[in-house]
Amino acid sequence: MNDALKTDPLAGVTGDRPVVARFCPSPTGNPHVGMARTALFSWAFARHHGGKFVFRVEDTDQSRDSEESYNLLVDVMRWLGLDWDEGVEVGGDNGPYRQSQRMDIYADVAQRLLDGGFAYKAYDTAEELEERREKARAEGRPSGYDGLHRDLTDEQRAAYEAEGRQPVIRFRMPDRDYTFDDLVRGPITFGADNVQDFVIVRANGQPLYTLTNPTDDALMGITHVLRGEDILSSTPRQIALYEAFAQIGVGSGVTPRFGHLPYVTGAGNRKLSKRDPESNLLGYRDDGFLPEGLLNYLALLGWSLPAVDGEEKDVFDLAEMVEAFEIGRVNPNPARFDLVKCEAINGDHIRRLSVEQVTERLLPYFQKAGLIADPATDDEAAVLAAAAPLVHERISKLTEAVDMLRFLFVAEDEFTVDETDAAKQLDEKGLTTARAAHDALAGLETWDTESIEAALRAALIDGLGLKPRLAFGPVRVAVTGSRISPPLFESLELLGRERTLARLSAALSS
């Protein structure tokens, strides 16, 4: 093995076959950020090499998997726009793509491994294993399986079975080192002592990840396995299984290349856990991230576009990523998840949209907030289209537009003014300003941005001698309910004369 391989991710596996990469999450809990990063990198790798992308679901653990979680995974992949050529929901030649529907396949492979002598039945009880493990630890020996039941005679097996013991199936790990050329990390060696015979089928007949994952990779023709670093220790076992598969005719006989993606860390440089709130992928959708913004940020967790003329480019779209996605450029060091940067990048993507596009993206958020009906009335759609340009440049998440524009859509009897802002802006002086604004606006002939601006400037700046900041603050708070709003004169135009005056009057009489 040498470093040169790292620069050619296709060496050793594909020949004239296309690249086939995969994403194969387990449906437990909410889809999380680390998962999406893995999906994105595998997808970009497949697309970069003009290959296929397979999406299968590893749902063999009935106690932890749920249908709800499965649906969320499909939902999130569709929302992100990471399309797959084969897999759940779309089908393909190597299905089914849910492991729960492939149990007969795993039983068959396990039996062939047993028949070929690559695996064996082990009858040790949990207590026996624990006792031997303790002893090994105390003596400073490796504490994995000691191979005691590796070579039982038929009589010994029969005797255990007569006792009513149910065996697990263990894979017989060849007694040698395993070296592979990781696509991200370069050559990695696992010493023979570090990888013991491992369980592939539980005593109750349930096949484990250790068997199902490489079986599917082999049968689905996967050429490249990209996954999180947490699974690195499984790789020598999987390579050994592949070598056995080649002898018993499971799959094509070619071992895939492996690449282990760096950990994602959160606050305090801790590994981001599934349970951290910033891990929850659907939270980003609810919060108003664009899928393209989130994907752009996720791409930066361990990867970056090559600099051009020394210039780093942080904001890019998926097509640019696909074009440039060299797996050898992935940095093996932990990648820090920085929500502030993620939001900033999302804001850049919002600004890349046209006003029409941003209006379209905003609509569901206004509907979810109950501010616009579903389907929207013509009036609502027109107000949103007119209001979108006011916030387009100012938001980094779509939900911020909902907060900023709520005043336009809320029913009059539900309109409220932020109390802290009111206390600051609508004191005695502020109320005087609001009264002057009311009177100036009441007499306006034409209700448009220019006339509103001219009338307010004349009344408040020339008339009351106020500085602009002091002049418009009270009007803004009284009419939009908050100190933070889109540009004032445009906002008033959109709100209309009647509602503007009613809100100024309400402020004066409260």
Q: Quick one: 180 or 407, whose CB is closer to ligand GLU?
A: 180
Q: Tell which one of 26, 60, 433, 485 touches ligand GLU (CB under 6 A).
A: 26
Choose the stretch contacting ligand GLU; rule: CB under 6 A; options: 22-30, 304-312, 352-360, 458-466.
22-30
* Min separation Cβ 24 and ligand GLU, Å: 5
Binding to ligand GLU (CB under 6 A): which residues in 99-128?
Answer: none
Q: For ligand GLU, what does the binding mask look like between residues 34 and 73, x meaning CB under 6 A?
A: ------------------------x---------------
Active site (catalytic) residues: 274
Largest CA distance in the chain: 107
In order of 65, 88, 227, 482, the CA distances from 75 in angstroms are 16, 12, 21, 35
- Decide: is 397 part of the binding site for ligand GLU (CB under 6 A): no
Q: Which of 396, 258, 284, 286 is nearest to 337 (CA)?
A: 284
Q: Quick one: 9 or 167, whose CB is closer to ligand GLU?
A: 9
In whole angstroms, what is the distance from residue 453 CA to residue 421 CA? Answer: 22
CB atoms within 10 A of CB 382: 12
Q: Quick one: 80 or 495, whose CB is closer to ligand GLU?
A: 80
Q: Which of 346, 236, 343, 338 is nearest to 290 (CA)?
A: 346
- Decide: is 24 part of the binding site for ligand GLU (CB under 6 A): yes
* Min separation Cβ 258 and ligand GLU, Å: 9
* Min separation Cβ 233 and ligand GLU, Å: 12
Full DSSP string of 428-466: HHHHHHHHHHHHHHHT-SS-SHHHHHHHHIIIIIIIS--
Q: Tell which one of 14, 213, 280, 359 touches ligand GLU (CB under 6 A).
A: 213
307: helix, coil or strand?
coil
129 contact partners, CB below 8 Å, separation of at least 6: 145
Q: Which of 509, 498, 503, 446 is nearest to 478 (CA)?
A: 503
Beta bridge partners of 199: 170
Q: Which of 442, 434, 432, 450 is nearest to 498 (CA)?
A: 442
Q: Quick one: 185 or 349, whose CB is closer to ligand GLU?
A: 185
Q: Quick one: 77 or 452, whose CB is closer to ligand GLU?
A: 77
Ramachandran assignment for 78, one of left (phi > 0), alpha (psi -120 to 50 degrees), beta (any other): alpha
In whole angstroms, what is the distance from residue 39 CA to residue 228 CA? Answer: 10
Q: Tell which one of 49, 56, 227, 392 touches ligand GLU (CB under 6 A).
A: 227
* Min separation Cβ 227 and ligand GLU, Å: 3
Q: Tell which one of 10, 231, 353, 385 touches ligand GLU (CB under 6 A).
A: 231
Choose the stretch contacting ligand GLU; rule: CB under 6 A; options: 24-32, 275-283, 320-328, 367-375.
24-32
Q: Quick one: 58 or 493, whose CB is closer to ligand GLU?
A: 58
* Min separation Cβ 352 and ligand GLU, Å: 32
Q: Taken in order 467, 468, 469, 470, is the CA torsion positive or negative?
A: positive
Q: Quick one: 288 or 302, whose CB is closer to ligand GLU?
A: 302
Contact 284, 292 (CB under 8 A): no
In whole angstroms, what is the distance from residue 327 CA to residue 27 CA? Answer: 26
Choose the stretch contacting ligand GLU; rule: CB under 6 A; options: 21-29, 249-257, 376-384, 499-507.
21-29
* Min separation Cβ 284 and ligand GLU, Å: 20
Size of the site for ligand GLU (CB under 6 A): 7
Q: Quick one: 27 or 474, whose CB is closer to ligand GLU?
A: 27
* Min separation Cβ 214 and ligand GLU, Å: 8
- Decide: is 25 part of the binding site for ligand GLU (CB under 6 A): yes
DSSP state of 230: G
Q: How many CA atoms lie within 13 A of 247 on its CB side?
A: 13
Tracing tokens 């309400």 back to the chain, one arrives at: 506
Q: Quick one: 28 or 432, whose CB is closer to ligand GLU?
A: 28
State both tokens at 309: 């003329």
* Min separation Cβ 34 and ligand GLU, Å: 9
Choose the stretch contacting ligand GLU; rule: CB under 6 A; options: 19-27, 62-70, 267-275, 477-485.
19-27
Chain residue at closest Cβ approach to ligand GLU: 227
Choose the stretch contacting ligand GLU; rule: CB under 6 A; options: 18-26, 161-169, 294-302, 455-463.
18-26
Q: How many CA atoms lie within 13 A of 382 on its CB side?
A: 5
In order of 87, 112, 296, 331, the CA distances from 320 in angstroms are 25, 45, 10, 19
Q: For ligand GLU, what does the binding mask look like between residues 423 and 462, x meaning CB under 6 A?
A: ----------------------------------------
Contact 254, 243 (CB under 8 A): no
Question: Which residues of this chain interact with ligand GLU, rule CB under 6 A?
Answer: 24-26, 58, 213, 227, 231
